[in-house]
Structure 1
Amino acid sequence: MTSMLLVTGVTGFLGSTLVRELAQKKYEIVGVSRRPVEGPFSRLEKVASLSDLTAQNLSGVDTVIHCAARAHIMKDEVANPLAEYRQVNVECSIRLARQAAKAGVRRFIFISSIKVNGEQTQLGKPFTADDAPAPEDAYGISKMEAEQGLQALADETSMELVVIRPPLVYGPGVKGNFANMAKLVDKGLPLPLGAIHNKRSLVALDNLVDLIIRCIDHPAGANQVFLAGDGQDVSTTELLSSVGQAMSKPARLIPVPAGMLMFGASLLGKRAVAQRLLGSLQVDISKARNLLGWEPPLSVDEGLRRCFESENAF
């Protein structure tokens, strides 16, 4: 019998792609949305917020895949960002999981963030799934607190918990810093990033979706944390070159030393932005490989090709 899945965030960047793939694999899907949406759903639970979901809404559901979240916002203008993140990412997630456990849901898959591990790694020393959490910003803290609350609930009930922490996710429709970077390449602007020797892990949208689906039924996934990634780390210089190739618009990269760029960025108050471009953030996906037998189906080059093959890529 095919499992019935409840998916939150079905209109989002991840959720919309996930439900399409689940439908192709013949899963029954209960979607959760604040507004009427079309999709391959067995039923749609229309709610004002996740807080309104009850055990009745979860009737017959075997697995919850919780993608909805207050996303990381670069220029957050609210007075208390942590309080806002906690309300959605912590309180709503735990309330949903509590209702899921009450309804007899077998497994709860929580899409977290690599920011729970931290913001950067030393070159060649990737984050692992079992590292002690070290979040540095409000978003990362909220995801860590959600994980902790969900694990406490799982310990009290028979419901299994699976946590997946992705780094930067890219694919058709990507927004944020990745889209901004791609737009600069698309315009043919010269960029002073031709001599950056860092290493960063990314995950293609299709690779992340594939890992989530692997976690639905795999017995070894129960009560585990997995890091997602493409299994191929790239420098900022390599990434920009690959983005250009995928767009058939070669990147115009000027080799400026990373130290000089960091110094200039610090003078302009942009050190955090420079760190994301110049620093390393690597993830070790060996736990998913070893426990789940999972391999990312797409290479970085193939993931980028799919990202930009659409006219509405970003």
Structure 2
Amino acid sequence: MKIALFGFSGFLGSHLLCHLKFEMISVNMRQIDWNNSIPKNVEIFINLIGKAHDHKGTATENDYYFANVELTKHIFQEFVKSDSKLFIHISSIAAVEEFESESPLKEQANSNPVSIYGKTKREAEKWLLEQKLPDHKKVIILRPAMIHGPGDKGNLGLLYKIISKGIPYPLASFDNNRSFLSIDNFCFFISEIIENKDRIDSGIYHICDDEPVSTKTVIGIIKKVTNKKTINLSIPKILIQGIAKIGDAIPFPINTKRLKKMTGSLLVSNEKIKNTLHIKTLPVSAEEGLFKTIKSFKNK
């Protein structure tokens, strides 16, 4: 089976290339004639292209729109012209909710994106869902919770740097639970969709680990990996929230939105896709996946 992979050089793409046991065609959209590099007999398109992080602080709204919407349109149009039967598009749970959800988010939940990232991911979803498909073609839109693994450059790495340096964690007064997705389980979901493509219908599916994990548990794993005995500070919530409001008005390391992301509960349900694909248990537990990721930070 031949699979066209878009976004092969990124974090997700590099892991999929190692994990999937199929003939992978890495498509470079920076080439002028990229569409001519896709073999006619490709059976599946996987779109991993997207812009999430802006570590340099130089990205514009147009940059996000181009990466998350326009390129998706171009790839989909090639999919429609091809003989391929399945288009797998990686969206994000940020297309639905970015801060808090005390109950596990299901696919029919009202969308409430706030950032330009979440909004452009949602716009790409809506555009794909509006397209008319030939009867023999399917479009699967996946909304992963926060994905992590070796090579991850997201927020887990920042938290690791703080705790590994012995800096006290100041938000221990907040109790929360968040859904994550280890890169191993992400690759497993993709593999299962490919293997069972006749069983799954077009539509949106949420993917995450089976168990949510609290920030305190994540910190405990970091301490175990680094052998640090950093203390946790239970500063009163009202004081932290007051400091965050100051950050809304002036440049400051923390503001209200960032505090919500760090301390709020954001739960995701993977019930729909597990039922559809008859998956009972994922290969890696949430804590096992986090331990593997955090251990990889230590080995850098």
> What's the TM-score, normalizing by structure 2?
0.89
Once the two structures are superposed, the pairs formed by residues 261-272 of structure 1 within 5 Å of their partners are 261-269=240-248, 270-272=255-257
Written as runs of structure 1 = structure 2, the 5 A alignment for 1:272-311 is 272-294=257-279, 295-310=281-296
In structure 2, the partner of 1:57 is 38
Moved more, 69-78 or 194-203: 69-78
8 Å contact from structure 2 (residues 146, 181) kept in 1? yes
The answer to whether structure 1 residue 102 and structure 2 residue 81 are counterparts is yes
Q: State the alpha-carbon separation in 1 of the partners of residues 117 and 299 from structure 2.
A: 26
Q: Which residue of 1 aligns with 2:30?
A: 48
Q: What residue in structure 1 maps to residue 93 of structure 2?
A: 114
Structure 1 position 163, deviation (Å): 0.9
Give the CA deviation at 1:69: 1.3
In structure 2, the residue corresponding to 1:195 is in which secondary structure?
coil
Answer whether contact 1:89 1:146 (CA < 8 A) is retained. yes
The CA RMSD over aligned residues, in Å, is 2.2
The offset of 1:259, in angstroms, is 3.3
Q: Secondary structure at the match of 2:5?
A: strand
Partner of 1:145: 123
Aligned length, in residue pairs: 292
Distance 2:54 2:146 in 1: 13
Structure 1 residue 56 displacement after superposition: 5.8
TM-score, structure 1 normalization: 0.85
Q: 2:156 aligns with which of 170, 178, 187?
A: 178
Superposed displacement of residue 196, structure 1? 1.9
Aligned to 1:214: 192
Contact 2:211–2:285 (CA<8 Å) still a contact in 1? yes
What CA distance in whole angstroms lies between the structure 2 residues aligned with 1:313 and 1:165? 30
Q: Which residue of 1 aligns with 2:48?
A: 67
Indicate which of 29, 35, 46 corresponds to 2:24: 29
> Is 2:104 the partner of 1:126?
yes
> Deviation digits for residues 51-86 of structure 1, max 9, x if unmatched?
8432662421100111121224367434x41x2222
Deviation per residue, 1:228-256 (Å, 9 max, x gap): 11121122222211232244434431122
User: 2:5 is matched with which residue?
Assistant: 7
Output one character per residue of 1:125-145: Cα deviation in whole Å (capped at 9) or x when no partner.
Answer: 121112232211211111111
**3-state SS of 2:15 partner:** helix
2:218/2:290 contact within 8 Å kept: no
Tell me the SS of whatever aligns to 1:163. Answer: strand
Structure 1: give runs of 5+ residues left out of the alignment.
Answer: 34-46
Aligned to 1:155, what secondary structure does the other structure show?
coil
How far apart, in 2, do the equivalents of 1:207 and 1:248 lie? 27
Contact 2:98-2:118 at 8 Å conserved across structures: no
For 1:136 and 1:313, the matched residues in 2 are separated by: 35
Q: 2:113 is matched with which residue?
A: 135
What's the % identity of the aligned pairs? 27
